[in-house]
Amino acid sequence: MEVNLVTEGLKFMVLGMTTVFLFLLLLIWVLKLQAKLVQKYFPQKSVTVGAAGAAKAASTATSGKNDDAEVIAAITAAITDFRKN
């Protein structure tokens, strides 16, 4: 009884790759179904752009710069404290 290891290896490779491919297809299908269900039961609220929307966008843009400065200050303080210890 002679066993061809190359043939057996190819059989296992095809079986494994097929299993992975089918799992990925199932994963994609489930994620698309989940996205449809989320959109159906939890729809996004529409965004109105007007004077209030423009003012809110401008305030968030300027506060973003302040947030960056605060984050940089916190990181600098943490590095300085770490280097002292």
> Does 52 reside within a domain?
no
Collect the ranges in the chain with pLDDT lower than 70. Answer: 1, 46-65
Tell me if 34 sits within 8 A of 40, measured CB to CB: no
pLDDT per residue as tens digits for the range 56-80: 655 555 565 677 888 999 999 999 9
> Does 23 reside within a domain?
yes
> Does 54 reside within a domain?
no
> Does 65 reside within a domain?
yes
> Does 53 reside within a domain?
no
- The model's pTM: 0.47
Tell me if 47 sits within 8 A of 53, measured CB to CB: yes
The predicted pLDDT at position 56 comes to 60
The total number of structural domains in the chain stands at: 1
End-to-end CA distance of the chain: 71
The predicted pLDDT at position 14 comes to 98
H helix or E strand, kind and range, residue 51: helix 51-84
